[in-house]
Amino acid sequence: MNSFKVTGGNRIDGSIKLQGAKNSALPILAATLLIKNKSVIHNCPDLSDVDAALKILVKLGCVCVRDENTVIVDSTDAFNYEVGKELAGEMRSSIVFLGAIIARMGKAVISSPGGCELGPRPIDMHLSALKQLGVIIKEEDGVTSCNCPNGLVGGEIYLRFPSVGATENIIIAACLARGKTVIHGAASEPEISDLADFLNRAGARIKGAGSNTVIIEGVPCLKSVEHTVMSDRIVAATFLSAAAVTGGSIEITDCPAYNMQSILDFFEKIGCYMKIKNNRVYMKCPSEFKASGVTVTDVYPAFPTDAGPLIVATFSRLPGENSLLETIFENRFRYVPELNKLGADICQNGKTVTSKGKKKLFGADVNCTDLRGGAALVIAALNAEGESVVNDIYHIERGYQSFALNLKKLGVDIEEL
């Protein structure tokens, strides 16, 4: 297993071009299955999760070619409808393929990825919505088998919670269904709008993506399409946090600033100078930070759960009381004991973690517990005296393209072991 060796103390100063969004690329790749032709996807990040999605497509009979950050998927000859345990387990969000496989093949068999790093990850909303579109579902021994002998039929779907993945699955499945589907209580994350843009460009008829009511008029088929994946707001939050923890400055280009107000608000609140122009964000840290108070994660446009660990990693630098209240996932604090090995002294009380006053961190051996928690450990290590070794960085590689290289360019002393 690979590790990063990080020597803390260097101040970040530089400019970085943001990568494409993982959470946008994955559902878009799944949706290529609906198109009996070629899809050209630009700005598709080179990540292990994207590799896993491409492997699933290949297994289903698609031809996938990558040229740097452009991926071409040819789904003309897709024939398979099964995703086995090994492939499904490689990527936690393999469930986003379910709607696409059913829509294309009329049936699907998919193994569940099992227990997850962020706590239980039920798929009940995905399944009950698909049932309402006419899918017959059987679940046995961690395998979900779906059949749709009479084809998908549009319907009214009410989500009890605005699940990102369920909204995406329904949108994808409903594109080729007969008639109209309305999703009430849909998630409104920007990555869902990106998926809808991709599908509309291919001839789908989706309205309202990005709001809580999405209307999809089914069409008989979709056509070849070219699309550029939106930039990754969580990776932007990662580099802003890294710059903050070192007291430095950073410019991020290709940054979807208009989709990350709650993240930018956090850095303004702790006293950073921000300058935002078009898709460029410049941030400079103050000589003395301010306390952040309580940050609460919630569905878009509130502060994103995925950025929670990243700001917690900056708490050691902040005066006063700094808390994060996590409302989306049950078990998202597994990285906290690892941060504490560096001296962060963060206390957990139920759904809230709190740090009181500035802390001096020291280099230590720490283990990534999940993707964003792993990135948080690297961020904290930038503010630790001496050398830290961050192990199990395969978690980080799921979501960050050339993470160490980019940090190095910004002035960080980091190397992969």
Q: How far is the CB of 410 from ligand UD1 (least distance, A)?
A: 24
Q: Confirm if 244 and 287 have CB atoms less than 8 A apart.
A: no
Closest residue by Cα to residue 402 from 4, 40, 42: 4
Tell me the closest approach of the beta carbon of residue 229 to ligand UD1, in angstroms. 13
Q: Closest residue to ligand UD1, Cβ-based?
A: 165
Contacts of 126 (CB under 8 A, 6+ apart): 95, 98, 99, 163, 165, 166, 169, 170
Q: How far is CA 214 from CA 146, 225, 285, 302, 311, in A?
A: 24, 22, 40, 20, 32
Task: Compare residues 209 and 361 and give the one whose CB is closer to ligand UD1.
Answer: 209
Nearest distance, CB of residue 186 and ligand UD1, angstroms: 11
CA 411 → CA 8, 253, 311, 352, 382, distances in Å?
11, 17, 20, 33, 11
Please report the DSSP string for 343-387 in residue order: T---EEETTEEEEES---EE--EEE--SHHHHHHHHHHHTTEESE
Shortest Å, Cβ 70 to ligand UD1: 21
Q: Which residues lie near ligand UD1 (CB under 6 A)?
A: 23, 26, 93, 121-126, 161, 163-166, 187, 304-306, 328-329
Tell me the closest approach of the beta carbon of residue 92 to ligand UD1, in angstroms: 8
Residue 41 · residue 229 · CB < 8 Å: yes
CB of 359 to ligand UD1, least distance (A): 27
Please tell me whether the peptide bond between 190 and the residue prior to it is cis, using omega within 30 degrees of 0: no
Q: Which is nearer to ligand UD1, 157 or 187 (CB)?
A: 187
The pair of structure tokens assigned to 222 is: 């979709």
Give the Cα separation of 378 and 310 in Å (integer).
10
Q: What gap in Å lies between CA 299 and CA 186, rounded to an integer?
A: 11
CA distance 389 to 190: 35
Backbone Cα Rg of the chain: 21
Q: Pull the structure tokens for residue 237.
A: 């939050």
Q: Is 146 among the residues known to form the active site?
A: no
Minimum CB separation from ligand UD1 for residue 166, in Å? 5
Q: Toward ligand UD1, which CB reaches closer, 330 or 416?
A: 330
Q: Are 393 and 416 in contact (CB under 8 A)?
A: yes
The smaller minimum CB distance to ligand UD1, of residues 129 and 255, is found at 129
Catalytic residue, chosen from 62, 116, 148, 272, is 116
Q: How far from 363 is each of 6, 10, 153, 379, CA to CA, in Å? A: 8, 14, 57, 12
Question: Which C-beta is closer to ligand UD1: that of 117 or that of 338?
Answer: 117
Enzyme catalytic residues: 116
